[in-house]
Structure 1
Amino acid sequence: MRERIHPKQDSLAKVGKKMTVAVRGQAIDSDDPLYQEGLTHLQAGEWAEAIRCFEELARLYPNSRVAQGALDEARFKASLDATTRVKAKQWIIPWRALTVRALTVLVILIFAVQGGRFISEQAAPLLARARLERQQGQLLAEANAYLGAGKLDLAEARYHDLLALVPDHPEALKGLAQVETQREVIALYQEAVALQEQGDYEPAVVKFTEILVRSPGYRDVSQRITAIKHRQDLDTLFAAAEADYQAGLAVEAITKYEQIRAIDVSERPDFVTDRLFELSLTMGREIIERDPPTVEAVPQALDYFTKALALHPRDTEAALEQRLARLFLDGNSLYYQGRWDEAISRLREVYDKRPQYLKGMVATLLYDAYIHSGDQFRDGDDLYQAYEQYRRATELPVADTALARGRMATIQPFMTPTPTPTVTPTPTVTPEPTFPPALLALVNTPVPTPTPVPLQTHRNSIVFYSENPDQPGLWAMDPAGANRQYLGNSPALRKQYDALVERARLSPDGRYRVYNLKAEEGKVHLFIQPPSSEQFPNPAPRQLTFLTGLSYDPVWSPDGGRIAFVSNDNGSDDIWVVRPDGSELTRLTLNTWEWDKHPSWSPDSSRIVFWSNRTGRKQIWIMDADGRNAQNISNNSNWDEYDPIWIK
């Protein structure tokens, strides 16, 4: 018979959590040991013990409904037990449920055993295959990595390990082939390097090229091929330079040696430097020693000497040649500027060190400079200094020193007159004064023709040469062709004329000079010589014209914006103009067989005077700066007139 459990007993059994019961300000803690003990006895059916515990609680907590309720519950169950005993709570085992659960677990175990057997029979091969494939992949990856790193022995071992697992593995077979190829490439590379180091460049290039075909980008093969080509180019260029040197082709040899230095400055540096020094010094001296001398080429000689000195800075010969060339150029420029004493100081130093410089041209210029300097002192009444300059001129080895000796003879009487002798007076004779013989001769000699007025005073006039049979020489006229005046034909006058021609080649500020010079291709072109500075003491001239014909007779416009010159680029000699920077090259005249030559600018740069034979004789013509309105202002059919200069 199943025991009945009272509902209240069940409700009390569920009291197990912590709680705090508030009763009129008093509280029984659910964890109170006495309270817990009473509940335990109550659940065990020990009514007397439970009543004892709850009575004690009721006494301790007289106002606690919980204590009182628990006590009432215990007393009720005790009274009830008199007729129907309430037993302690017992667990009821659900056998049916347990049976179902046991059967379920048994079925699961059966399926697990069968599944394990299935896995062992069916999945194990798959797992083994996966492990094998993973092992193969690892071996292949290691082999490829070793191959890429050039560790061929290790790569070969891994490929063989892979083939041991899979004898016909395609990647392993391919890898072994690559190992063999790389070994062949390594051997080929070593052979090529050995050939390169021995200087056998052609077979080395062949082998290096084969390597690139087999293994593109292999090591430094591309760089080695480039280095060999570079080496071959240098050797070829060096051989050509030496051949030119041995053949006496100095310019060509210099060009090639300079190319070698530009390509590789470390290529036989001492040898190339010595060659360039020797050739530069030789070329500069060859220009200076030409016969006849070429003044226009002296700047080029100076460039050669400067290059030689840059190569061997302490060489005394190169330093001397550079100084002489520079002194001559300075002296020559000062000479044509009429700065005679300054010109003498430069030219004299050149002459003292090398009297035959430029085949004696320095002596000739120095002679003329002494004459002009003496004339200046003479005109300034410094006869003693004038005499000294004339005397120095007579000492120079020129063809004719008659002019200097004549100047000396002219002024000598005024420098050292003979003293007047003492005359004893008599009572009957009044003495007459006597003169030194030299002075007496001068008194009885007709007054000489005055020194011609300097050409520079004929401003805005046109000075030209005329072959007038009665008065040949220099003439002047105005731009309209009127007011013709004969100036003379003395050497001094011609020197003034030459100085004006040279002055027209200078820029208005005098810093730049335009001149004609034979270029490398053998044709005469115009060049501009820039001024020297501390940074560029010897600047190289700049080529201005590049026409197919000759270019000469350059003159700079007074406003500095244009340069007029003559060129036969069209087959005839015509007047051209160009900007100083080489732009706006324009031909102003166009002839078939006639000549237009020797242009000269007007002071305002608006017109150009020149001579032309377009009428059958050389005549003076004038035209606008753009070539229009050309007209003959000579209008003379009896003799030639040419080489005009517009005085500014």
Structure 2
Amino acid sequence: MSAETYFQHPLYGLAMQHFQEGNWRAGLKEVERLIQLFPVEQELRSLRHELGFKARLDHFEFGDRAAEGRRRIRRLVLRVGAAAVIASLAYLALSTYSDWLGQQVTAGRERVEREIRIATTTAMQRDVEALMVAGRLAEAKSVVDEIGQLDPSFPGLTELSADLTAALDLSNQYDDAMQRIDSGDWLGAQSILQQLAAAVPNFRDINIQLTYIERRTMLDNLLGAGEASFAKGNWEQAVAAFETMRTVHPQHEPEYIEARLFDSYVNAARSVLIGQADSLAALQVAESHFRKALALRPQDPNIKRERELAGLYLKAQDDFDQSQWSEVIRALEIVIGADASYAQGTARQTLYDAFVARGDFQISVYQLDAALSDYERAAVLAEQDSGAVLRLYEAQIKVAEAQGASGNFEAAVLHYRAAAELGNLQARGAEDNPAMLSALQEAEGYAANGNFGVAYERYQRATRLADAKQVKKIHIVQEGEYLTLLASRYGSTVRAIALANDIENDNLIFAGQELLIPVLP
């Protein structure tokens, strides 16, 4: 499986190992190979620049040390030669001169030996400094120990030992941080590296490591937040976390994150509809989530269906506001065909009102057969909801009016009679509406004598008188409510609500408005 990001690539780990060992040139080669694999990563190019500089610095320092070593060797050879000459002279002197000359020769030899020792330890001191610069602290410590054995009183030995101890401490802290990174202890590693950065800003690759930790910490925080929200069913928070993670770290376990995000979208869409499936705002949020889920899995049939239904319902409500009745009917017949109780029954209510509204328009332009067809379809929808008495009552009256307009008075009377029974008009008229009762009695009398035309006119008059005595409830409009929603909740109709409140434009209701909602004929 290929690496997801450059800092997860094996070459990156190998480069880090070379850097920690001070082997800048080897690390630089690995970085060059990483740049070929990840050409757009600016951080890799910055790293290459920094390491190139350190490699050149290392080269120059070792070059200087080599030149200095050659000079020391020449001096040492000269001194050894001088010592040999002195020794030869001393040998000759011993054979010819006095004890005093022998003492002088001995003193000279000791002086030469001391100078040789000083030259040797000084060269070793420079080696220690070079090894410390290269990060080879274990070797540097061995050389310091050797200096102490050769010349315990060597000038600067105490300071050199202190510097080496400090460098070893920094190295140990760095190694501790690297071990914490390997074990996933990001905060512990970050704390150590930040302290190192404050003490020695350019120590090894601490800035690179801090950047890496920051990314991994962000990734872990996002993943943790997303998983916690997912487990608790906080779907909107889960969506936000996984969306951010997918944007910021697109290569981190993409299949897993996509699966989590898909499930979060679907659950967020469904949960927002719980208890408010007829809310346009909730349906808009749900449709948006379904659309995003489909973008991840375009062929998922269930989500495709749910998104399509939500989109059709929202479009139908918009078309209803624009009086595009045929568009409303076309969309909601698909929705009702898939789910008869969609949006808690408001889809069926809206379809009913669209049939009635289109029938009214067709009556106005004398398309009587088309109007009758729409009213009859509205009546069929009303019969599917036994609790919506007012809806079925209104549909029967609409069919009766269409039949009467076509001259089919006998059929019209039958529908008026059915409406009167649904609305219990006889009993209501006897209670408090004598004019309506009289009209009903006259209608029945004319119908009994076969005079269906006059009976039709009397029934029409009776039902209009009944409208003035409908049972109504008071409702204060809340934010996001609309007429078909209220009609569905109260078992009423848009026409009945509009008539009861003198509403000319069905769309012009507003939050805080007091409405009278007819609930019975």
1:252 and 1:443 map into 2 onto residues whose CA distance is 67
Contact 1:390 1:408 (8 Å CA) reproduced? yes
Contact 1:413 1:439 (8 Å CA) reproduced? no
Matched with 2:453 is 442
> Does residue 300 of structure 2 align to residue 315 of structure 1?
yes
Matched with 1:301 is 286
1:273 and 1:229 map into 2 onto residues whose CA distance is 23
Cα–Cα, structure 1 residues 187 and 130, in superposed 2: closer, same or farther, change >3 Å?
closer
Q: Percent sequence identity over matched residues?
A: 23
Matched with 2:398 is 407
1:338 and 1:490 map into 2 onto residues whose CA distance is 13
Paired positions, count: 333
Cα–Cα, structure 1 residues 254 and 407, in superposed 2: closer, same or farther, change >3 Å?
same
Matched with 1:356 is 341
1:440 and 1:365 map into 2 onto residues whose CA distance is 37
Deviation, structure 1 residue 154: 6.3
> Does residue 505 of structure 2 align to residue 500 of structure 1?
yes
2:500 and 2:289 map into 1 onto residues whose CA distance is 31
> Within 5 Å, which residues of 2 pair with 1:69-148?
143-148=128-133
Contact 1:289 1:358 (8 Å CA) reproduced? no
1:307 and 1:373 map into 2 onto residues whose CA distance is 35
Secondary structure at 1:359 match in 2: helix
Contact 1:336 1:499 (8 Å CA) reproduced? no
Secondary structure at 2:315 match in 1: helix
Contact 2:276 2:282 (8 Å CA) reproduced? no
2:449 and 2:341 map into 1 onto residues whose CA distance is 38
Deviation, structure 1 residue 228: 4.0
Cα–Cα, structure 1 residues 437 and 305, in superposed 2: closer, same or farther, change >3 Å?
same
> Does residue 283 of structure 2 align to residue 283 of structure 1?
no
**Higher relative CO (CA 8 A, sep ≥ 6), structure 1 or 2?**
2
Deviation, structure 1 residue 318: 2.2
**TM-score, length-normalised on structure 1?**
0.43
Deviation, structure 1 residue 495: 9.2
Residue type at the aligned position of 2:452 = A
1:128-160 residue CA offsets vs partner (Å, 9 max, x unmatched): x99999998877655534421224466567768
Residue type at the aligned position of 1:365 = T
Deviation, structure 1 residue 351: 1.4
> Does residue 360 of structure 2 align to residue 375 of structure 1?
yes
Residue type at the aligned position of 1:306 = R
Cα–Cα, structure 1 residues 361 and 417, in superposed 2: closer, same or farther, change >3 Å?
closer
> Does residue 135 of structure 2 align to residue 150 of structure 1?
yes
1:402 and 1:132 map into 2 onto residues whose CA distance is 121
Contact 2:197 2:206 (8 Å CA) reproduced? yes
Matched with 2:376 is 391
Residue type at the aligned position of 1:362 = A
2:303 and 2:131 map into 1 onto residues whose CA distance is 65
1:463-486 residue CA offsets vs partner (Å, 9 max, x unmatched): xxxx999xxx9xxxxxxxxxxxxx
Secondary structure at 2:507 match in 1: helix
1:602-648 residue CA offsets vs partner (Å, 9 max, x unmatched): xxxxxxxxxxxxxxxx9xxxxxxxxxxxxxxxxxxxxxx99xxxxxx
Deviation, structure 1 residue 222: 4.3
Cα–Cα, structure 1 residues 364 and 391, in superposed 2: closer, same or farther, change >3 Å?
same
Deviation, structure 1 residue 218: 2.4
> Within 5 Å, which residues of 2 pair with 1:166-185?
168-171=153-156, 173-185=158-170
Contact 1:394 1:401 (8 Å CA) reproduced? yes
Secondary structure at 2:344 match in 1: coil
Contact 1:413 1:438 (8 Å CA) reproduced? no
Deviation, structure 1 residue 366: 0.3
Cα–Cα, structure 1 residues 313 and 248, in superposed 2: closer, same or farther, change >3 Å?
same
Matched with 2:496 is 491
Deviation, structure 1 residue 186: 3.5
Cα–Cα, structure 1 residues 153 and 364, in superposed 2: closer, same or farther, change >3 Å?
closer
Cα–Cα, structure 1 residues 230 and 327, in superposed 2: closer, same or farther, change >3 Å?
same
Unaligned runs of 5+ in 1: 1-128, 419-435, 453-466, 474-488, 505-551, 554-596, 599-617, 619-640, 643-648
1:338-365 residue CA offsets vs partner (Å, 9 max, x unmatched): 2211221122221112111110100000
Cα–Cα, structure 1 residues 249 and 236, in superposed 2: closer, same or farther, change >3 Å?
same
2:328 to 333, 340, 343: 343
Matched with 1:635 is none
Task: Please provide the CA RMSD for this pair.
Answer: 4.7
Matched with 1:480 is none
Matched with 2:227 is 242
Cα–Cα, structure 1 residues 292 and 197, in superposed 2: closer, same or farther, change >3 Å?
closer
Unaligned runs of 5+ in 2: 1-113, 410-446, 475-493, 517-521
Deviation, structure 1 residue 369: 0.2
Deviation, structure 1 residue 179: 3.5
